[in-house]
Each structure stands twice: as structure tokens, then as C-alpha cells.
């Protein structure tokens, strides 16, 4: 309390609150409480909706987790299966290569007694090519010991129309009864040299599969190189290239391997040669 003596003239005692004002304040507080309760009920409804959404998401995540586990297990099983299939495929590929090699070998062995002759005039064999060849080959190759002894199982020309004089001559394929007779014919054909019959160049070739022919053909450049370098060589069955190089008998199944070996050996030989003596130039300085 402020003593009367110290009270300022401006200081006044606040008037007391009237009953109407108190009632009005009470109503206002009730309205505020109602608004708060209404807001709380709305918030609780939203929270319940959020909780239900979270529960739904939890269920979905659980389902997705189960599906993911199933997918990972299936992927793992598929990877294991793929590894087994790859191993089986690799094994089958190796078996196929072996079978192809055996098939090619059997095919070439079945043709080992066959020979091709190229260059015969058209129609000279007549209607019986077997009889013609049995009578013609010993005389043409100068093999009197085979006269009356040469036996040919069958013979036929290629299934093509008869060529004209300007076209490539037709080939005649015949099968000998004995392999030794084929070797004698080829050897004699090489020894005699260029063969001609009725102004036609005659050639004899081995009969072989298409794959073996391509393998033998791949050595063409190597043969030319050996001829240029005067290196003795021979192409053996099946597609094995033999060379007598520097006193060694070498065998190759790949033309590139043989070519690289020869080139490397020649380069080493060149590097091992002693250097040439350098000639001293005469001095051009006048005394």
C-alpha cells in the first residue's frame, strides 16, 4: 500500500469488475475450451488416419520383403542352374569338337582310295569309265607292272553338264580297290612331270573333305616361302607340314606357327653374323 502522503495525484484505484463482465469472460473461456476440444478431436482423427496408413504400409512392406526374399532365392537358384548349364555346355562343346574330329577323320579315311583326275577330253571315258581307266592309266603313266592288275571299284564324273572347250574341264572321280595302287599312281605322276593327253594337261588330286581341303590350302603361302628359301618340305596327312630346317625335322599344324618359326630363326642367324670390316677412307687432307 502507498501511504496517502506519497500518493501521486494521478494514481487511482481500479474499479471493481462487474458481474456482467465476469459472465462474458466465462463464456469466452468456454468457447475457447470448445475450440480446443474440437481441434484435439480433429488432430486425433488425423493421427488415427496416419496410424492406419502406417499399418497399411507396414503390411505392404512385409509383403514386399517376402517377395524380395523369394526373388533373391529364385535368382540364386537360377545363377546356380546357369553355372551348371555353362559347365555342361562347355563339356558338350568339347565333346562336339572331338566328334567333329572323328567324323572328319572317318570321312577322309573313307575317301583315302579315291583320286580325282582333271583335264581328260570330254567323252573320252565313254560309257564305261571304269574299264577306260583300268586300261588307260598303266599305259599313260608308263606302269607296265600294273597292266591287267589295276582294279577300280567305281568311277564317275561330276554331276555337271559337259563343259565346252573354252570352259574348265570336268573332273573324273574314281575309287581304287587297293590303297597301294593309289600311292603308286600319285608317285609316278610326280616323277613323270607334266602330263598331257591329246593336247590336254592332266592332273591328279587326292579326294578329301572340304574342311581338310581348306586346311591344306592354308599352307599355300608357306609352301611358296619354302620354295623361295630352298627349304625341303612335305604336306603330310592330315594337314601336317613337315620341313627339314637346319638339320631338324619339324612338324607344324598351323601355317602362322611355321612361318613365325622360320622368320625368327632367320633373324637370329642374321644377328649372329659377324659385322663387316669397316673400310678406312683415305684422308683428303693435303700434307
- What pLDDT digit, counting tens, does each position of 106-117 carry? 998 889 999 999
284 found inside a domain: no
Split into its structural domains, the chain has a count of: 3
Q: Residue holding cell 595302287? A: 181
8 found inside a domain: no
pLDDT at 211: 87
Low-confidence ranges of the chain (pLDDT < 70): 1-17, 159-169, 271-287
Verify that 163 and 139 share a domain, yes or no.
yes
181 found inside a domain: yes
The Cα–Cα gap between 271 and 283 comes to 32
pLDDT at 287: 31
From its phi and psi, is residue 239 left (phi > 0), alpha (psi between -120 and 50) or beta? left
The Cα–Cα gap between 239 and 227 comes to 18
Helix (H) or strand (E) holding 200: strand 200-206
Q: pTM for this structure?
A: 0.57
Verify that 131 and 202 share a domain, yes or no.
yes
pLDDT at 267: 82
Q: Can you name the residues that pair with 26 across neighbouring β-strands?
A: none
The Cα–Cα gap between 127 and 154 comes to 13
Last residue of a domain, one of 176, 207, 238: 207
Verify that 132 and 84 share a domain, yes or no.
no
pLDDT at 16: 56
18 found inside a domain: no
Verify that 251 and 175 share a domain, yes or no.
no
Range of the domain at 264: 213-270
4 found inside a domain: no
pLDDT at 278: 41
Question: Cα dist. 82→87, 106, 117 in Å?
Answer: 8, 35, 53
pLDDT at 280: 44
Verify that 154 and 229 share a domain, yes or no.
no
The Cα–Cα gap between 177 and 153 comes to 6
Report the CATH number at residue 266.
3.30.250.20
Amino acid at each position: 500500500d502507498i501511504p496517502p502522503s506519497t500518493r501521486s495525484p494521478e494514481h487511482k484505484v481500479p474499479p471493481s469488475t462487474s458481474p456482467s463482465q465476469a459472465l462474458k469472460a466465462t463464456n469466452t473461456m468456454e468457447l475457447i475450451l470448445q475450440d480446443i476440444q474440437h481441434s484435439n478431436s480433429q488432430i486425433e482423427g488425423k493421427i488415427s488416419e496416419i496410424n492406419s496408413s502406417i499399418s497399411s504400409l507396414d503390411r505392404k512392406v512385409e509383403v514386399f520383403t517376402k517377395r524380395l526374399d523369394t526373388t533373391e532365392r529364385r535368382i540364386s537358384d537360377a545363377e546356380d542352374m546357369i553355372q551348371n548349364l555353362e559347365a555342361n555346355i562347355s563339356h558338350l562343346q568339347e565333346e562336339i569338337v572331338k566328334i567333329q574330329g572323328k567324323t572328319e577323320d572317318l570321312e577322309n579315311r573313307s575317301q583315302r582310295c579315291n583320286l580325282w583326275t582333271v583335264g581328260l577330253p570330254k567323252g573320252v571315258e565313254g560309257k564305261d569309265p571304269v574299264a577306260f581307266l583300268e586300261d588307260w592309266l598303266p599305259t599313260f603313266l608308263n606302269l607296265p607292272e600294273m597292266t591287267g592288275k589295276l582294279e577300280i571299284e567305281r568311277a564317275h564324273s561330276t554331276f555337271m553338264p559337259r563343259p565346252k572347250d573354252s570352259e574348265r574341264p570336268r573332273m573324273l572321280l574314281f575309287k581304287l580297290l587297293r590303297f597301294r595302287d593309289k600311292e603308286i599312281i600319285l608317285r609316278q605322276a610326280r616323277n613323270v612331270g607334266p602330263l598331257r593327253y591329246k593336247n590336254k594337261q592332266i592332273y591328279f588330286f587326292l579326294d578329301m573333305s572340304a574342311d581338310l581341303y581348306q586346311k591344306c590350302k592354308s599352307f599355300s603361302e608357306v609352301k611358296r616361302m619354302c620354295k623361295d628359301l630352298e627349304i625341303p618340305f612335305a604336306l603330310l596327312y592330315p594337314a601336317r607340314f613337315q620341313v627339314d630346317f637346319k638339320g631338324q625335322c619339324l612338324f607344324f599344324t598351323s601355317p602362322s606357327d611355321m612361318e613365325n618359326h622360320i622368320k625368327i630363326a632367320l633373324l637370329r642367324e642374321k644377328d649372329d653374323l659377324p659385322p663387316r670390316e669397316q673400310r678406312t677412307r683415305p684422308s683428303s687432307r693435303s700434307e
